[in-house]
Amino acid sequence: MRSSTLKAMTRTRDLKAGHFVFEFATPGIGHIIKQAGGEFVLVDSEHSGFGFETIKSLLQYFKAADLPAIVRVPSADYKDIARACDAGAEGVMLPMVGTAAQAERIVQSMKYTPRGGRGVIVRAALDDYTPGDTMAKLAAANARTTLFAQIETEEGVENAAEIAAVDGVDCLWVGHFDLSCSLGIPAQFGHPKFIAANQKVVDGAKAAGKSLGRLVPDAASGVALYRQGFDFIAYSADAWVLGDALAAALADIRGRI
């Protein structure tokens, strides 16, 4: 049993600091993030090219490191959502959630009866291959699975409060790049339209008592967003951290010679 579950983490507004993984599907990656102080990891299968076999392996690496994992699936199709859960994903992130009705369909795909219509599999990755009472397992899975609804379109912003209010949605996650594009102001995060949209998502999550999350490029951004109400802060990504640190170190060596 993990020391802290994603579901429990979404029930507080304390800071949860984590990391984004889209490149390095290595056995040690979970332990590296954990030892660095990471409290959760967001694994991408929307843009990374990771297939489900890779995701399944990564989830075992994170489990070994006692690190709760969110999997961002490539679409809201049942097959993508259910397969991520079956592979052992504790949390699932859905891109471009636009309406409460869509959020409800996602919940239906994630949850077993009586809450949803997910197909049943037991004694597999999701329950650590353990025997036991089937109905107890389904109830435990329903209690464990955690939904992160990504708000990254103008439609999603307009419906943020209704999406957050859906039973089964645990966190609204602002996809800032895609949201800025949807608003017609690509990468202009200081633009009044973006600031207003971001605040509407914050207000919607707060009204429903749900968590808020975002990816940040630096520590200062993480602090500023936490003060706005974001409690899940994913700092940068695996390939970006390596690239930045390596570039800085090599430049420093060359500058000293």
Q: Which active-site residues does the annotation give?
A: 47
Distance CA 25, CA 1 (A): 23
Distance CA 89, CA 69 (A): 6
User: The tokens of 156 are what?
Assistant: 């999603």
CA distances from 247 to 23, 219, 240, 241, 252 (A): 18, 19, 10, 10, 9
User: The tokens of 223 are what?
Assistant: 């602090």
**Prior bond to 114 cis, omega within 30?**
yes
Distance CA 170, CA 70 (A): 12
Task: Please provide residue 205's backbone torsions phi and psi, each rounded to the nearest 5 degrees.
Answer: -65, -45
Please say whether the beta carbons of 211 and 234 come within 8 A: no
Please say whether the beta carbons of 50 and 25 come within 8 A: yes
Cβ-in-10-Å burial (0-12, 13-18, 19+) of 76 comes to middle
Amino acid identity of residue 131, one-letter, is P
Non-local CB neighbours of 155 within 8 Å, separated by 6+ positions: 98, 99, 182
Taking alpha carbons only, the member of 40, 21, 116, 47 closest to residue 78 is 116
